[in-house]
Structure 1
Amino acid sequence: MRISEVPTDTEESAQKVANGKTIALIGLMGAGKSSVGRRLADTLDLPFYDSDEQIELAAGLSVTDIFSVHGETEFRRGEQRVIERLLEGPQHILATGGGAFMNPDIRAALKQHAVTIWLRADLETLWKRVSRKDGRPLLKTENPKQRLADLLETRNPVYAEADIVVDSREGPHSTAVNAILKALEDYTQS
């Protein structure tokens, strides 16, 4: 559905809240930032960028390979450069990597140039989603579910600094997109 198909009051609210700013989705791996972000971008007729995909394009390596060849520190440096570059461009929907918002410089840049939306999910939902894929470098441990739980505990207080919080649950992506549109409308009115 394109923005022309969205009811006028929702369209106007989304444009007001965004004020030309990027809408940045934050949250832990498996929260649905990329899949929901693509659908949100289609709905609002805005470009979509996934910061991890942009890092891979810039580096010519997968995220997993960057971690194994260069380490997490170098990945985080590249992540910051990519996100800052994207925030300099025109308005878009941005799905950030799970650790991006933990970096104070990235967090400040996002707060200045974007409306941040935390896609919050519980451990079981996240685990169900991430355990289907093997490309999660931070989960390459003896007990990946415990590592995910630890990340959840550490990161949630920082994610809570987002402008908007939307719960990510099982179900169609359109449910999350509609919740985001409603949250954007409420955010504009408050």
Structure 2
Amino acid sequence: MECATDPTRTPPEGRAAARPIFLVGMMGVGKTTIGRQLAAALGREFIDLDQAIEARCGVRIATIFDIEGEAGFRRRETAALDEYTRRPGLVLATGGGAVLSEANRRMLSERGCVVYLRAGVDELYRRVARDRGRPMLRAEDPRQRIVDLLALREPLYESVADVTLDTGDQPIIQVLRNLLALLPDRAAAQAPLTE
């Protein structure tokens, strides 16, 4: 599957109907930061799914977890994902656990180009260790929690990925260049990449 124009969709006025690009991967891998830059480079709209859910609910994800539990949050996540994965030309950063649901994996795989952004446990821990707003890291040993989550989720990320890219400790501009080189529709980039 490629990330180029989808000829089966009717283009919105004045814009080619490009296949949406969905970013998946663990918390802290850079989906939001890279997604914003990618959307700007391709002249596309960017949505962070977790931020969209927070805006709709009027509370942080952590509060949704506190009130409704993970199951309640996952229902909201699936509903939002169903809506946003139908929008052509979008760059969508999903939450780290969005791939846990088979329905979500099917939506991602069938409706767009899925980019798995990957980083090692040490790099992920370094990026999120001090972030108290991540309900999945409420554990006695947050680093071990990352290890456990990655073991569970990595096969799911890989199962939906059309493109896999290691983010490591590279500067964002280099990660973006690497990603654009992997996308078939990179020639559509509108913005120059400067440091």
Decide whether the 8 Å contact of 2:30 with 2:117 is kept in 1: yes
Distance 1:103 1:138 in 2: 16
Distance 1:60 1:94 in 2: 20
Structure 1 partner of 2:191: none
Distance 1:22 1:98 in 2: 18
Alpha-carbon RMSD: 1.5
Structure 1 partner of 2:179: 180
Structure 1 vs Structure 2: percent identity of aligned residues? 38
Deviation at 1:186, TM superposition (A): 9.6
Structure 1 partner of 2:97: 99
Deviation at 1:17, TM superposition (A): 3.0
Structure 2 partner of 1:13: none
Structure 2 partner of 1:17: 3
SS at match of 1:48: strand
Deviation beyond 4 Å, 4+ runs, structure 1:
none
Structure 1 partner of 2:64: 66
Deviation at 1:134, TM superposition (A): 1.4
What code does the residue aligned with 2:134 have?
R
TM normalised by structure 2 equals 0.84
Mapping 1:47-66, distance limit 5 Å: 47-66=45-64
Structure 2 partner of 1:142: 140
Unaligned runs of 5+ in 2: 6-17, 187-195
Decide whether the 8 Å contact of 2:121 with 2:147 is kept in 1: yes
Mapping 1:150-165, distance limit 5 Å: 150-161=148-159, 162-165=161-164
- Equivalent residue pairs, number: 172
SS at match of 2:22: strand
Per-residue CA distance 1:145-184 (angstroms, 9 max, x = gap)? 1011000111111111211100011121111111111111
SS at match of 2:85: helix
Unaligned runs of 5+ in 1: 1-15
